[in-house]
Amino acid sequence: MEVRWGHAITLAAFAAMAWIGGFLREDLSPLRFAGCAISASTAYFLISNFGVWIGWGMYPHTREGFVACYVAALPYYRTSSLSTLVGGAVLFSGYEFLRRRHHDKQLEPATARAN
């Protein structure tokens, strides 16, 4: 399998997202989750579009080309941010629901579970 520079840019973008997601280990609150989700989407947007501008040859290597590259990607940023917020909220709230449900079952008296 051939690995190209574009793969390195993509891996760097995913690594940045994973690093930002690591902040959720300390304390998971809705505000902290939203901040991390938006920050991770923003990091991916900035890193990946820099890779597009610098390496794909679609935009001139000028200030105008740089701006045009990022402006063209704004609809993807909006979609990515929304999907990260919604998808992450579903996953984290689902996990929290199951964790609490399991915890509550552990606290039930043995006679209540037998019936």
Q: What is the pLDDT of residues 37-78, one digit of tens each?
A: 999 999 999 999 999 998 888 999 999 999 999 999 999 999
> Residue 25 has what pLDDT?
86
> Residue 111 has what pLDDT?
56
Q: Does residue 1 register a pLDDT over 70?
A: no
> Residue 110 has what pLDDT?
57
CA distance 38 to 20: 10
Q: How confident is the model at residue 109 (pLDDT cuts 50, 70, 90)?
A: low
Count of beta carbons in the 10 Å neighbourhood of residue 16: 18
Q: Are 47 and 13 in contact (CB under 8 A)?
A: yes
The larger pLDDT score, comparing residue 80 to residue 111, is at 80
DSSP for 42-107, written as a single string: HHHHHHHHHHHHHHSSSS-SSHHHHHHHHHHHHHHHHHHHHHHHHHHHHHHHHHHHHHHHHHHHHH
50: left (phi over 0), alpha (psi -120 to 50) or beta: alpha
